A and B are shown apart, each in its own frame.
Chain A
Amino acid sequence: MNNRNKIKVLYIDDEQNNLVGFKATFRFDYNILIAIDTAQAYSHLKSHPDISVILCDQRMPETTGSLFFEEMRERYPDPVRMLITGYSDIESVIDAVNKGHIYRYIKKPWTDADIRSAIEEGNKYYVTTSMLAVKNKELQAAYDELGKFTYSVTHDLRGPLLSVIGAIDLAKTMDELTEIRSLLNMMDDAVKKLDEFIRNTHEYYNLKRGKLIFEKIDFKKMMTDASAIFNIAGRMDNVKFIANVSQNEDFISDENSIKIIMNNLFSNAFKFQKKNAAEKFVSAEISINNGNAEIIVKDNGIGIDESHIEKIFAMFYRATSDEPGSGFGLYNVKDAITRLGGTIKVQSALNEGTTFNVSLPSKVNEP
Chain B
Amino acid sequence: MGNIKKLNFIVIDDSKLDCFIAEKVITNTGKSGEVRSFVSAEQALETIISAKNTSFPHTIILVDIQMPVMNGFQFIEAFELLGPEVINNYSIFVISSSINENDLKRVDNYVSVKQFLNKPLNSNILGALVDQY
Q: Which residues of A contact B (CB under 8 A)?
A: 151, 154-155, 158-160, 162-167, 169-170, 173, 183, 186-187, 189-190, 308, 317-322, 324-325, 327
Contacts and interface: CB of A to CB of B under 8 A. Distances in A.
Main secondary structure of the interface of A (DSSP, over half): helix
Interface on chain B toward A: helix, strand, loop, or mixed SS? loop
B3 interface: no
Nearest to B98: A155
Contact of B68 (A165, A189, A327): A327
Interface in B4-52: 14-18, 20-21, 24-25, 28, 39-40
Contacts, number: 73
Given A155-B98, A158-B99, A166-B25, 20 more contacts: A151-B100, A154-B98, A160-B15, A162-B119, A163-B119, A163-B120, A166-B18, A166-B21, A166-B121, A166-B122, A167-B21, A167-B120, A173-B28, A173-B123, A187-B17, A318-B68, A319-B69, A321-B40, A324-B15, A327-B68
Interface of B: 14-18, 20-21, 24-25, 28, 39-40, 66-69, 97-100, 119-123
Contacts of A317: 68
B66 A155 contact: yes
B20 A183 contact: yes
B15 A165 contact: no
A169 to B, nearest CB: 6
Contacts of A190: 15, 17
Contacts of B21: 163, 166-167, 170
Contacts of B25: 166, 170
Contact of B97 (A159, A169, A325): A159
Given A158-B99, A187-B17, A165 B69 contact: no
A165 B39 contact: no
